[in-house]
Amino acid sequence: MQAEYVIVGAGSGGSAVAFRLAEAGHSVIVVEFGGSDAGPFIQMPGALSYPMNMKRYDWGMASEPEPGLGGRSLVTPRGKVIGGSSSINGMVYVRGHARDYDHWAEQGADGWSYADVLPYFKRLEHWHGEADAGGGAEWRGTAGPLHISRGRRENPLFNAFIEAGRQAGYPVTRDYNGQQQEGFGAMEATIRQGVRWSAARAYLKPALKTGRVRLVRGLAAKVVIEGGKATGVALSDGRVITAGREVILAASSLNTPKLLMLSGIGPAAHLAEHGIAVVADRPGVGANLQDHLELYLQFATKTPISLYKYWNLWGKAWVGAQWLVLGRGPGASNQFESCGFIRSAAGVDYPDIQYHFLPIAVRYDGRAVAEGHGFQTHVGPMRSKSRGSVRLRSKDPADNPVIRFNYMSHPDDWTDFRAAIRLTREIMDQPAMALHVKHEIQPGAAVQSDEALDAFIREHAESAFHPCGTARMGRRDDPMAVVDPQGKVIGVEGLRVADSSVFPRITNGNLNGPSILVGEKMADHILGKDPLPASNLEPWINPDWAVAQR
């Protein structure tokens, strides 16, 4: 039960670190509480609503009642399975905007500007979208472990949405993960030949095959710290796994801060409340919690054009059988095949609203709309100013933490969300979509005033399941930083964090790609390698951003 490196968490960041450490010849133990990812619910992209609602695969966390959302408690799925949340997520692949990473560097994450991280994105990617994107390959990687593809967009609603964006005056982008994020275009996914391509498939299983990585099933109770140095990980059953070199936490932005606090690293007063001896007083542990909220704006269609025709027992059986036997059909796609990134107002220099388009009106919990044929666009602001926290519920490592997002606690969030709804309606009024739209199901045409929109937001906003930021990177003299730009926990030797906890600020879009990036780049820091040479490619920023919304 010992190795040079012990990693807690077999998710996006942890699997990438394990792969790179094994590649460099080191012995690694990965501690994971969850089990196998075998079975069609995880592997079939079209079944994505199932695993995140299954106790077998999900930690079962939820927020405390959220005052800004009328006291609702929102579920917060996190993957309890190899591959972590990359095994239960929607498979959407978004790098984030170049400016996101420049902001990280400005906040003290030296070496994490866009020029610094682009080479790592290229290293991790095996991109299959070149033909569709019309070139631009210098921005993308084609030999990495993570397969990234585009859906076929066979349903006419996908291209109608992109065309409606163009008709509304927005750019069309050939590759939002390349030079130009802003605009409407094809969405990318971690899917390979009709199968979910999780971090387990891309990184963990190849790492295990080397024989240098072992997977240990168990619940991490705390990091063992002796004389100010992390020497291993104690499991809840009494086993201790010893690390000859370092311990790396990659247990998610909700469980990593919990583990740090259980180990005596966190806000001293909070640790004292639970009778935990303070090893390092770091008030930033569990602070700075961020997420993306979104609304499902739903529309009924004039004709039976949507995927609703499969939303019955026989339809689902046919989709499942076609995927199992032939590896294709609706089950081979996550059905998020077109998207948009726009700016909410003039003076916003890069997109702050994201669209996921889905050719059926359905919820993440799998409940379809009673009205039948329709579609929806998930829309929400990208850079909420609200901040929340993760705190210990007790000293028991089996207890989920206390999660408070403080959604909508900043007044600007309301302004941004109203803008997102109104801009969406304008897009749906364009000829390309008007051709298909029978009427607006949700919020409904009657919901127009600021007050009515606010009431709808309060009642219907849902998490996009992108929590991050709870052990943020920064300079060592920053009192609220938890790790330095190399991922080292400030105040403890031999301990790092390599997951979305380290994000200083949430990135534009879905977080799986940036979480894998963190694992890739932290691995080089752990190995003491020189970072990959910075890129000199210049990302596109709308030249009229200061004076025009589009």
List active site positions.
Answer: 466
Cβ–Cβ < 8 Å for 10, 205:
no
Element (H, E) at 145: none
Number of helices (H), then strands (E), in the chain: 15, 23
CA–CA distance, 472 with 253 (Å, rounded to integer): 10
Residue 508 known to bind ligand = no
Contact partners, residue 22, CB within 8 Å, separation at least 6: 28, 207, 210, 212, 213
Cβ–Cβ < 8 Å for 516, 146:
yes
The two tokens of residue 227 are: 């004389």
C-alpha dihedral (218, 222, 223, 225), degrees to nearest 10: -140
Percentages (nearest 5) of helix, strand, coil residues in the chain: 30, 25, 45
Q: Where are the beta strands (DSSP E) in 427-530?
A: 437-442, 462-463, 495-497
Dihedrals φ, ψ of 364, to 5°? -60, -25
CA–CA distance, 449 with 439 (Å, rounded to integer): 18
CA–CA distance, 514 with 342 (Å, rounded to integer): 20
CA–CA distance, 74 with 42 (Å, rounded to integer): 23
* 3 state SS of 237: coil
CA–CA distance, 256 with 73 (Å, rounded to integer): 21
Cβ–Cβ < 8 Å for 207, 18:
yes
Q: How many residues does the chain have?
A: 550
Residue 91 known to bind ligand = yes
Contact partners, residue 497, CB within 8 Å, separation at least 6: 248, 249, 250, 256, 260, 471, 482, 483, 487, 489
Contact partners, residue 310, CB within 8 Å, separation at least 6: 316, 318, 319, 330
Element (H, E) at 23: helix 12-23
Which runs of consecutive H residues, i.e. helices, occur in 24-149?
A: 40-43, 98-106, 114-124, 130-133
Residue 483 known to bind ligand = no
**DSSP string of 114-138?**
HHHHHHHHHHHEEE--HHHHTS-GG
Cβ–Cβ < 8 Å for 18, 7:
yes
Which runs of consecutive H residues, i.e. helices, occur in 348-430?
A: 411-428
The two tokens of residue 311 are: 């939303």
Cβ–Cβ < 8 Å for 88, 42:
yes
User: What residues are designated binding site for FAD?
Assistant: 81, 89-92
User: What residues are designated binding site?
Assistant: 81, 89-92
